[in-house]
């Protein structure tokens, strides 16, 4: 079996022997003048010799390297041993006396060689001790990223197939109708062409008969037949006029890829800025504190998103922009953005008001109440759930109220209008008919997706193991990647599934108790959730990793209930008062 050849690094060490005759001790010193390895005793003897008194003897590691010996081409008996600085060429000592080098400055080639050799040794040491291990670490990271990419791509493929399957029946129906219409048009055109074909059959038969009559006329011997005009029956009738068929056209301009993407979904290349892989420093090892700081910075960098106008990132600190009181509500339990200067704000008692950004009330509506029970669509219609009647209402801008969706036995608790495709995501609860002294013994919960017309598209209730995903989904939102993020009060967790309904992760806080309330996401894919027990707002990344406590009691936050990020990336936080506070946390 052949052995693989391995390169021995330049920093490898081995035992050196003294080169003085008849001495077998280990080498410790080196004479730069005569280029010999010496032990301590041989060094002492070497320097006692009068002609060696000016020899430079150093410890072996500080030795000058002897350059490769090469004869001068001009003076073959001389070795090249110096460098002409002006001409930058190596020459021999005799060359230095020549006219072209007169007055030039010369450097000992051995000195230069030693310096370069030491520099190379230093660089080799860096390669073996730092660059190779660091590159191997990054290579492992690349392989891990490749595995993660494959998993993400498989998940996207599953989602794409699910979306395509949901459209299959509709496409088949439309195709069948179009085919039937085309068949009818074809049948009509062929019938008309068949009639035209019969017309020409009759005309050709007429011409054949006319030929016979002409032949009969020509064979007549009566001269009078040729002196008079031709009989009327021998005049040729004109060729019948017919029309060419007008076939239908199939125009592909009736829809485009964008229209298909709305129905089917499409792969969107992320516009997040690709982060540089972190390369560990070479010389100064980081302390525990600096390592933690760097880790937090790395986590932040993973969620930087670049858009057409600017690159957003987390600010170093959170700044309060303004604060105002909202008349007409006891507490700010939920906030929905209406437009750039309008908000819908509600408490748990059914008071829902529309305000401007200074808290001035524009209109007020009495509802059945709840937590995250209202949202605003892309068309600026207000959608709100009625948990008492099990319906979802739509209120248009002209205040036209309609019962949009009936949810049957399921109580709609929370609702969110997707900014991606306009779908409605609804968190629901179904109380089972097992009650003890009027108390609910058991219940079921789910998240249902409806399209913009109110058609049910998807129900999400259990994970791949058949376990219940939800207990009480009282707030719901959607992330930029299509993930459905739900704040579940009874589970004391944030439950996140992907667009296909597959469970991705659950976040249960940083302490033993976690009381999640209002939840929202931002343009970087961060998840922000209120924790009313610890009086904090938690900041998570897109994959559920905890980044920081964005807001705490030290910043004046008490019992936060609702969060919302507007189009200018400002954060609105509602509390157990009628106070709404606005913060800036992105830059």
Contacts of 150 (CB under 8 A, 6+ apart): none
The overall pTM is greater than 0.85: no
The confidence score (pLDDT) of residue 289 equals: 33
Let me know if the fold of 29-112 is the same as that of 305-432+439-586.
Answer: no
* 346 burial via Cβ count (<10 Å: 0-12, 13-18, 19+): buried
Tokens, residue 221:
């011997």
Q: Tokens 């009330």 appear where?
A: 361
Fold type of domain 29-112: Double Stranded RNA Binding Domain (3.30.160)
For the chain, what are the domain ranges?
29-112, 113-264, 305-432+439-586
Using alpha carbons, list the distances in angstroms from residue 546 to 275, 331, 336, 455.
19, 28, 25, 36
Nearest to 519 by CA among 527, 510, 511: 527
* Predicted pLDDT of residue 374: 96
What pLDDT score was predicted for residue 1? 37
Q: For the chain, 587 residues long, give each residue's pLDDT as a single digit of tens.
A: 333 334 434 444 456 889 888 888 889 899 988 888 999 999 998 999 988 988 989 998 778 777 788 899 999 999 888 999 999 999 998 999 998 998 899 988 888 887 888 788 888 888 988 899 889 988 998 998 898 888 888 877 887 787 777 778 777 887 888 889 899 999 999 999 999 999 999 999 999 988 988 888 777 766 666 656 677 777 888 999 999 888 888 765 566 666 666 676 666 666 667 777 777 777 544 333 333 333 343 334 334 333 433 467 888 889 999 999 999 998 999 999 987 789 999 998 899 999 998 889 999 999 998 999 999 998 899 999 999 999 999 999 888 899 999 999 999 999 999 988 889 999 999 987 554 444 445 789 999 999 988 999 999 999 888 889 999 999 999 999 999 999 999 999 999 999 889 999 999 998 888 999 999 999 999 999 999 899 999 999 999 999 999 999 988 898 999 999 998 899 999 998 889 999 999 98
Instruction: Give the CA count within 13 Å in the CB-facing half-sphere of 308.
Output: 0
| Contact of 34 with 49, CB cutoff 8 Å | no
Contact yes or no for 307/523 (Cβ under 8 A) = yes
Would you say 522 and 569 are in contact if contact means Cβ atoms under 8 Å apart? yes
- Give the pLDDT of residue 522: 94
Buried b or exposed e, range 494-532, using 16+ CB within 10 angstroms: bbbbbbbbebbebbebeeeebebbbbbbbebbbbbbbbb
CA distance 300 to 275: 10
Question: Which among 125, 42, 121, 113 has a CA at the least distance from the CA of 83?
Answer: 113
Cβ within 8 Å of residue 78, ≥6 positions away: 71, 72, 92, 93, 94, 95
Q: Count the alpha carbons within 13 Å of 569 in the hemisphere toward its beta carbon.
A: 19
Maximum Cα–Cα distance across the chain: 159
CA distance 329 to 331: 6
- In sequence order, what E strands does 184-308 have? 305-306
E strand intervals along 23-104: 29-31, 36-38, 57-59, 80-84, 89-92
Residue 334 CA to residue 538 CA, distance in Å, equals 17
CATH 3.40.50.850 corresponds to the domain 305-432+439-586? no
343 vs 355: CA distance, rounded Å: 5
- DSSP secondary-structure letter at 131? I
Length of the chain: 587
Which helix (H) or strand (E) covers residue 292, if one does?
Answer: helix 288-301
**Strand runs (DSSP E) across 12-56, as ranges?**
29-31, 36-38
d(CA 302, CA 289): 20
**DSSP character string of 332-366:** --EEEEEETTEEEEE-TTSEEEEE-TT--EEEEEE
């Amino acid at each position: 079996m052949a052995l693989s050849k391995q390169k021995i690094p330049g920093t490898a060490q081995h035992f050196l022997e003294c080169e003085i005759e008849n001495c077998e001790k280990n080498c410790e010193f080196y004479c730069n003048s005569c280029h010999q390895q010496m032990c301590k005793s041989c060094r002492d003897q070497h320097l006692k010799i009068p002609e060696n008194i000016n020899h430079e003897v150093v410890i072996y590691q500080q030795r000058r390297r002897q350059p490769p010996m090469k004869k001068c081409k001009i003076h073959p008996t001389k070795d090249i041993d110096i460098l002409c600085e002006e001409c930058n060429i190596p020459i021999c000592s005799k060359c230095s006396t020549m006219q072209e080098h007169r007055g030039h400055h010369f450097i000992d080639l051995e000195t230069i060689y030693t310096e370069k050799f030491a520099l190379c040794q230093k660089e080799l040491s860096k390669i073996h001790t730092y660059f190779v291990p660091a590159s191997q670490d990054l290579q492992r990271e690349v392989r891990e990223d490749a595995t993660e990419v494959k998993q993400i791509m498989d998940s996207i493929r599953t989602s794409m197939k699910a979306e395509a399957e949901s459209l299959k029946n509709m496409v088949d129906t439309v195709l069948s109708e179009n085919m039937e219409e085309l068949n009818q048009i074809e049948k009509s055109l062929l019938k008309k062409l068949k009639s035209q074909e019969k017309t020409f059959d009759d005309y050709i038969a007429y011409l054949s008969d006319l030929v016979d009559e002409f032949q009969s006329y020509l064979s007549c011997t009566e001269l009078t037949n040729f002196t008079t005009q031709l009989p009327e029956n021998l005049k040729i009738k004109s060729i019948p006029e017919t029309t060419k068929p007008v076939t239908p056209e199939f125009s592909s301009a009736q829809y485009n890829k964008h229209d298909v993407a709305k129905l089917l979904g499409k792969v969107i290349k992320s516009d997040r800025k690709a982060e540089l892989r972190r390369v560990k420093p070479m010389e100064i090892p980081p302390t525990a504190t600096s390592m933690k700081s760097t880790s937090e910075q790395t986590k932040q960098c993973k969620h930087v998103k670049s858009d057409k106008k600017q690159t957003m990132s987390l600010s170093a600190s959170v700044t309060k922009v303004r604060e105002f009181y909202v008349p007409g509500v006891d507490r700010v339990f939920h906030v929905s953005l209406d437009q750039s200067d309008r908000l819908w704000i509600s408490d748990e008692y059914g008071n829902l008001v529309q305000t401007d950004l200074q808290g001035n009330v524009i209109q007020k509506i009495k509802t059945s109440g709840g937590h995250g029970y209202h949202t605003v669509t892309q068309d600026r219609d207000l959608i709100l759930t009625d948990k008492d009647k099990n319906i979802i209402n739509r209120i248009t801008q002209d205040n036209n109220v309609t019962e949009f969706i009936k949810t049957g036995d399921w109580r709609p608790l929370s609702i969110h209008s997707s900014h991606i495709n306009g779908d409605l995501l609804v968190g629901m609860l179904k109380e089972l008919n097992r009650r003890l002294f009027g108390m609910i013994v058991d219940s079921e919960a789910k998240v249902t997706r409806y399209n913009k017309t109110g058609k049910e598209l998807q129900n999400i209730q259990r994970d791949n193991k058949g376990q219940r995903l939800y207990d009480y989904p009282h707030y719901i939102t959607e992330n930029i990647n299509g993930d459905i993020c739900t704040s579940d009060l009874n589970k004391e967790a944030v439950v996140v599934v992907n667009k296909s309904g597959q469970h991705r992760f659950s976040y249960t806080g940083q302490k033993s108790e976690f009381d999640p309330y209002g939840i929202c996401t931002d343009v970087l894919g961060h998840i922000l959730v209120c924790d009313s027990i610890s009086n904090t707002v938690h900041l998570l990344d897109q994959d559920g990793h905890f980044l920081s406590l964005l807001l705490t009691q030290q910043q004046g936050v008490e019992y936060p209930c609702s969060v919302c990020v507007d189009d200018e990336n400002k954060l609105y936080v509602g509390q157990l008062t009628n106070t709404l506070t606005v913060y800036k946390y992105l830059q």
